Homo-oligomer: A and B are copies of this chain.
Amino acid sequence: MIRIVTLTYGVVLMLAGAAQAGDLPPEPVTTFTLDNGMMVVVAEDHRAPVVTHMVWYRSGSADEPVGQSGVAHFLEHLLFKGTDRLEPGEFSATVAKNGGSDNAFTSYDYTAYYQRVASDRLELMMQMESDRMVNLRLGEGDIATERAVIIEERNQRVENNPSALFGEQIGATQYLNHRYGVPIIGWRHEMDALDLNDALDFYHLHYAPNNAILVVAGDVTPEAVRPLAEKYYGSIPANTDLPLRLRPAEPPQIAERRVTLRDARVAQPYVSRSYLAQERDSGAQHKAAALELLAEVLGGGTTSYLTEKLQFDTQVAVYTGAYYTGLALDSTTFDLIIVPAEGVTLAEAEAALDKVLADFLATGIDAEHLARIKMQLRASEIYARDDVGGIGNRYGRALTQGLSIADVQEWPDILQAVSEADIMAAAHEVFDLRRSVTGWLMQEGVSQ
């Protein structure tokens, strides 16, 4: 079974997350809350007799206790061990036997579990998922086995990948105080020490109906979902000790930072730049929308500003990118990347990037370019409708990261309403080197 985990912060294009058509009516989404505080979201789509059943916990790696990095993701793995009713591995085997597929993923702000099955198997999924919300049974053997698995996962994805190591070092340097600076998968030395108590403490504190959101998307009706949700999830008592979700905020970032990682395995050196940026906030998404469009204008596709200036006009770079990670509970980042062409040093590439940014700030946006981007966003919103799992994903991610259903549904129109002036104002604000980290990933022993 594949586990999806966002290993390096930033540099994940979230275009899909922006997709929902404002010209279209909003998706038929129904929400209600069970007596124990569990939120339920039902997104109807009757085009095929399948359903995606997801449980999202409002707890991720940024909610971990200090010194136990990786425990949220570790616990995600352990949820596939046994309960009072199920043998280890039986959960996924049962899903597969019923013709479905299942998976789980952990990020900074959430942990989520889902199954995609024929819609007449929904009750079975609810019965099993609600069971492991509270009845997990773990032994020391499970811990040793699964700890080896997550460490191997870290080896594969991070230790063997200079870009991932680079991303970790940049993240740790970007955040002076907040746990977004600690990798989701965990620092290796802390993963080594994770034990049964750490996993159970996180489980008992965070896995409860009043910290969870049930998302059911597909060929179902709210009327059918409600009694099942009440039967399986509604019978679980709320955790009255659930902690407030208060993370340490960043102090004012006042000093430009730089990180250089040299690694013998680097085949292609590059420069990355991240700036601390405002995230999407409930009822106040306008600035985030401007940043989202700024990323598109600068780095979205082959007609973008950076591509045109740095790849076509001057041929300084073989690749450029701009990324904004708007979905986050707390302060996020706006990221730029430039991969220099053969014979161009990192210093030259960085200087060229800064020159182009300065030109952009001075000259502003081409109106036609912006109109084209907005049209593409509309199109992608329509395509996104076809992915039922994606709809559940979109609501689950938003709701665990401080947004509401209305925020999700208003987002496409907020994006369309962004003006050129809004984007330039956002650019002038976000491109502040005092809140930035510039990273050079270099080959060991090669001077630049």
Contacts and interface: CB of A to CB of B under 8 A. Distances in A.
Interface of A: 66-67, 69, 165-166, 168-169, 172-173, 176-177, 179, 181-182, 187-190, 246-249, 251-252, 254-262, 434, 439
Given A172-B177, A177-B172, A261 B251 contact: no
A177 B182 contact: yes
B255 A257 contact: no
Contacts of A246: 67
A254 B67 contact: no
Q: How many copies does the complex hold?
A: 2
Contact of A66 (B66, B169, B252): B66
Contact of A254 (B169, B251, B256, B258): B169
A255 B444 CA distance: 11
Contacts of A182: 177
A434 B259 CA distance: 9
Interface centre among A166, A177, A179, A260 (most CB of B within 10 A): A177
A169 B174 CA distance: 11
A128 to B, nearest CB: 35
A257 B258 contact: yes
B173 A67 contact: no
A150 to B, nearest CB: 15
Tell me the dominant secondary structure on chain A's binding face. Answer: mixed
A257 B188 contact: no
A188 B176 CA distance: 13
Contact of A189 (B181, B189, B249, B256): B249
A179 B176 CA distance: 10
List the 9 closest pairs (A to B, CB-CB), nearest first: A258-B258, A67-B248, A172-B176, A169-B255, A255-B261, A187-B251, A256-B260, A255-B259, A257-B259
Contacts of A187: 177, 251
Contacts of A252: 188
Contacts of A69: 177, 248
Nearest to A182: B177
13 contacts: A66-B66, A165-B255, A169-B254, A169-B255, A169-B257, A172-B176, A172-B251, A177-B182, A189-B249, A190-B249, A254-B261, A256-B261, A257-B260
Contacts of A260: 255-258
A165 B251 CA distance: 11
Contacts of A261: 254-256
Contacts of A434: 262
Contact of A251 (B179, B189, B259): B189
B66 A257 contact: no
A441 to B, nearest CB: 9
B190 A248 contact: yes
Contacts of A165: 254-255
A246 B195 CA distance: 15
Contacts of A262: 256, 434
A248 B169 contact: no
A259 B257 CA distance: 4
A246 to B, nearest CB: 6
Given A189-B249, A254-B261, A258-B259, 17 more contacts: A66-B66, A66-B179, A67-B247, A69-B177, A69-B248, A169-B176, A169-B254, A172-B176, A173-B257, A177-B187, A188-B252, A255-B260, A256-B262, A257-B258, A257-B259, A257-B260, A258-B258
Contact of A248 (B66, B173, B255, B257): B66
